[in-house]
Amino acid sequence: MPRTSFLPLLGGRLLMVLLAVLTAVIFVLDTITNFEIAVAVLYVAIVLIAVQHLGRRQVVMVAAGCMALTMLSFALTRTGSVASGLVNCAISLVAIAVTTTLALRAAAAEAAAREAQAQLAHITRVTMLGELTASIAHELNQPLAAIVLNGNAALRWLAGQPANLDEANKAAERIVRDAVRATDLIKRLRGLTKKAAGKAVRLDLNQTVTETLPLIQNEVSRHRAVLRTELADALPRVHADPVQVQQVILNLIVNALEAMKGEPQREVTVLTALGQPGEVLVSIHDSGRGLAAAQPDQIFDPFYTTKPDGMGMGLAISRSIVESHGGRIWAQAGVPRGSTFTFSLPAARERQ
């Protein structure tokens, strides 16, 4: 049975019931005990739980409700000294108000920090990619330019009257030498990306998915989309670099969100499942426009993009990450609509 959760509400209904029960308990205790016992201070706990899972306005409403109940309890309580009851009631009200204010402020700061961090990560990635591309382009351009020039020179030496075979020969030799140089460069580049492959560890993909989703939550809300997960139980672990797997998942979700721009129904589902024996699958399904391309493989090529401001690198990078881990990535048309991107990672051997 797959676990299902609605991430924006995080089991919202269950939480609301829990909060209601807790509130009721506090209210009853506060009312039946005498004035000297300030059970109402416990409403602070309600506020603190609410702030973790609810929006700002909802938290304020919860706090107001708690304060109202505190005063109602005061009115209904029959035993004890009214004077100390009044003081206790006031203390409780102040405690609830102060806690609400501070907790909301802390939550806002935390959200801002998370957003800033996500932005920074994005900027760093884009800048690094730009610099890397520029430097690779320059390094590759040199031998390529030399090859082109030598080729032209050879043609001209051959076309001369009489043809200068010696010079043409030398130019051809230089073409071979420079082509080898370009190849070496590409080999070194491959080595570099392998080195940057990061540290592979034993990874629970369900956990990776769960940890990744909060990073993209802001983006999901901005697109007014719903993010769901369907995580299979008892998945074998995989051997992979968690940061890179996260990057693939993020890339695919961002793509899914952009594919749903302007669609009436915007829903992204992240699924984990068992694939073929020894293989774990992660799928990102969206309710977007679907794949326009006739060849779904082409979309993984570098610089292939359907977005006006796209670089066409997201899927290409995702593919190279997945393949460097010994997995595969593919796209399918969704049922009944949208599209599904799936990648597989080989399961780790069940041994320490």
Give the binding site for other proteins (CB under 8 A): 134, 137-139, 141-150, 152-153, 156-157, 160, 164, 167, 170-171, 174, 177-178, 181
Residue among 237, 241, 239, 238 nearest 197 (CA): 241
Smallest gap from Cβ 173 to other proteins, in A, equals: 10
| Cα separation, 329 vs 343, whole angstroms | 4
| Cα separation, 226 vs 232, whole angstroms | 20
Closer residue to other proteins, CB minimum distance, 64 or 134: 134
Smallest gap from Cβ 313 to other proteins, in A, equals: 18
| Cα separation, 42 vs 47, whole angstroms | 9
Residue among 342, 118, 125, 310 nearest 217 (CA): 118
Token output for 208: 């990776």
Smallest gap from Cβ 189 to other proteins, in A, equals: 16
Closer residue to other proteins, CB minimum distance, 140 or 348: 140
Long-range pairs, 64-68, Cβ under 8 A, ≥24: 65/23, 66/23, 66/40, 66/96, 67/43, 67/93, 67/96, 67/97
Closer residue to other proteins, CB minimum distance, 24 or 134: 134
Smallest gap from Cβ 149 to other proteins, in A, equals: 4
| Cα separation, 160 vs 158, whole angstroms | 5
Smallest gap from Cβ 266 to other proteins, in A, equals: 39
Closer residue to other proteins, CB minimum distance, 94 or 134: 134
67: left (phi over 0), alpha (psi -120 to 50) or beta: alpha
Smallest gap from Cβ 257 to other proteins, in A, equals: 32
CB neighbours (10 Å) of residue 107? Answer: 16
Residue among 88, 22, 4 nearest 271 (CA): 4
Smallest gap from Cβ 158 to other proteins, in A, equals: 9
| Residues whose CB falls within 8 Å of the CB of residue 107, separated by 6 or more in sequence, listed in order | 51, 52, 56
